[in-house]
């Protein structure tokens, strides 16, 4: 298994020791992450908040690579919530520019590693150049099946459910035909299995309007580590913790 991580982790390292404790036969199929703590990380470092977001973007790339090498099939990253528009305009503009830059400079990594990108959320409010680049990346990676990244932008779970219901009504779905499976298919994540594991960094212990319908039976993992410091070892810790849970889904 270490061969899979060649060039990323070293033999005998903490990461290598943790990797040996991961059962590859019981990996979570879908991991969702609330990437929290960029601003507080920057403040503790005496840096501008923008530096925290920059470091957080690097962490997102690292965790994406780690999850892909491990064999995780779906990874959902909560990048920008519908409530984040309340932040200062300068910070929002920095985040949007950074997202666009990542789509331009990192798209080849998705292509080379056969990773599909799907953007979830209400994208109408996003800058035009970012929307175009996101759409281009979605299109060019649509046939890849090694792993799927769901990037949640201008995302809110309550709005997602309302959007799904409105779309069902517009499509003439009869009330007698509505069930959990049908509603699920109209969500932004339609066609994607529900998360097995939800990780939230930075010490906060709440869901913050994230995938409320989809995580009904997900395992929740909270860590005090700020997102910019959430490294390979921290990700492995979360997976190992998940594998020690007993998932009953309401049964005994």
Domains and CATH numbers, the chain: 28-156+195-242 (3.40.1180.10)
- Do the beta carbons of residue 204 and residue 38 sit within 8 Å? no
Active site residue 150: no
Tell me how far apart the terminal alpha carbons of the chain are, to the nearest angstrom: 34
For 31, the enclosing helix (H) or strand (E) is strand 30-34
What tokens does 3 get?
């061969």
How far is residue 136's CA from residue 130's CA, in Å, rounded to a whole number? 10
- Give the position of tokens 């703590």: 37
User: 112 an active-site residue?
Assistant: no
Name the active-site residue from 3, 38, 84, 231: 84
DSSP letter assigned to residue 177 = G
pLDDT tens digits, 99-143? 999 888 888 989 999 999 999 999 999 999 999 999 999 999 999
pLDDT single digits (tens) 174-219: 999 999 999 999 999 999 999 999 999 999 999 999 999 999 999 9
Catalytic residue among 3, 16, 23, 36: 36
Handedness of CA 76, 220, 30, 186 (dihedral sign): negative
């Amino acid at each position: 298994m270490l061969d899979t991580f060649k060039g990323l982790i070293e033999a005998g390292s903490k990461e290598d020791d943790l990797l040996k404790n991961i059962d590859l036969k019981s990996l979570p199929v879908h991991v969702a992450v609330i990437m929290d703590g960029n601003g507080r990380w920057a403040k503790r470092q005496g840096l501008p908040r923008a530096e925290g977001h920059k470091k957080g973007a690097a962490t997102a790339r690292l965790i994406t690579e780690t999850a892909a090498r491990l064999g995780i099939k779906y990874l959902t990253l909560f990048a920008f919530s519908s409530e984040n528009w309340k932040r200062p305009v300068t910070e929002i503009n920095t985040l949007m520019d950074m997202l666009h830059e990542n789509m331009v400079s990192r798209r080849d990594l998705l292509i080379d590693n056969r990773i599909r990108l799907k953007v979830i959320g209400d994208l109408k409010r996003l800058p035009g150049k970012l929307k175009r680049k996101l759409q281009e990346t979605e299109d060019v990676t649509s046939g890849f099946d090694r792993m799927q990244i769901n990037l949640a932008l201008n995302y809110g779970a309550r709005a997602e459910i309302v959007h799904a219901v409105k779309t069902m009504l517009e499509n003439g779905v009869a009330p007698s035909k509505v069930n959990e499976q049908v509603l699920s298919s109209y969500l932004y994540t339609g066609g994607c299995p529900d998360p097995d594991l939800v990780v939230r960094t930075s010490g906060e212990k709440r869901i913050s309007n994230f995938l409320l319908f989809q995580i009904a039976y997900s395992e929740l993992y909270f860590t005090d580590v700020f997102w910019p410091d959430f490294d390979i070892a921290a990700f492995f810790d979360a997976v190992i913790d998940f594998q020690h849970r007993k998932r009953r889904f309401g049964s005994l």
